[in-house]
Amino acid sequence: MDKRSIGVFDSGVGGISVLNRLLKLLPNENYIYIGDTARMPYGIRSEENIKKISSDCIEFISKENLKAAVIACNTVSSVAVDHLRDKFDFPIIEVVTPGTVDATEVTKNKKIALIATDVTVNSGVYEKYIGMRDPQIEVRSLACPKLVLTIEAGHALDEIGAEIIEDYLKFFDDFDYDTLVFACTHFPLARKNFKDIYERQNKEVFLVDPAYNTALELEKTLKNLDAFNENNQGKVVFYTTSDPNRFRQLAIKYCRLSPDKISPVTVDLEKALRKK
């Protein structure tokens, strides 16, 4: 029995799509979620800057003596995970490898469309790992920064979101793909809009959310460490680096927890880390 919490980190509310999977698979665990909403979007920042600011977030939540942390952000997973693993001594689980495993297994015609941030697309990590698993698979990637901001503004499931998604998907019109990878954690929050668009277009596309395999990866890690928190009513502590009310409204919209369990607290990272 290990009561220590699991850290979950994203630039904003997108990581809630991963948190939802974790809560479903491992409901007894305690989680500390931090969304760095003051500094998002991460997807247009430099690699060096992403390393620094993601490290600040993990450092802040690590004061709680974590047993593991999940980087619920593809952008950070793409360019900063080695840096974070070097810096912290608890297991750090990322989302890219789990996503590539799923995508490779699911595609039948070996054509995968991928949507992500600029940083993730430019890093080429998905292409690299998918290519290592199956060199015959063709991947076409598109950065969708406007969709990140739209979802962060609360429009994942409405008409505003749908229009932006439909527009971005046109990029793949001449690509006969059977699989779409949500290589940004914000995008699964808009899953219903994607499904409806494909249905209207009469198109069958597998939607790959790396969160599924990421949750299994965490389960494996806890099993190896014999660190499950059995017989416990798990809870989530939420931190945001900007307005807590705004974060709460969005979390209520996107998170599977009931609203009474969502009470985000604002943290000023500079101050909090200076004090340590």
Catalytic residues: 73, 184
**Binding string, residues 239-268; x marks residues near ligand DGL by CB under 6 A:** ------------------------------
**C-beta of 14 vs 264, nearer to ligand DGL:** 14
Kindly state whether residue 43 participates in binding ligand DGL, applying the rule CB under 6 A. Answer: yes
Residue 186 lies near ligand DGL (rule: CB under 6 A): yes
Stretch that binds ligand DGL, among 49-57, 69-77, 80-88, 188-196 (CB under 6 A): 69-77
Question: Any contact of residue 94 with ligand DGL (CB under 6 A)?
Answer: no
The least distance separating ligand DGL from the CB of residue 117, rounded to whole angstroms, comes to 4
Instruction: Return left, alpha or beta for 124; rule: phi > 0 is left, psi -120 to 50 is alpha, else beta.
Output: left
The C-alpha atoms of residue 144 and residue 248 are separated, in whole angstroms, by 25
Can residue 210 be called a binding residue for ligand DGL (CB under 6 A)? Answer: no
Q: Which amino acid is at 112?
A: I
CA distance 143 to 128: 17
- Contact with ligand DGL (CB under 6 A): which of 6, 7, 8, 10? 10
Q: Which is nearer to ligand DGL, 168 or 228 (CB)?
A: 168
185 interacts with ligand DGL by CB under 6 A: yes
**Residue 156 makes contact with ligand DGL by CB under 6 A:** no
Question: Which residues make up the interface to ligand DGL (CB under 6 A)?
Answer: 10-12, 14, 40-43, 73-75, 117, 120, 148, 184-186
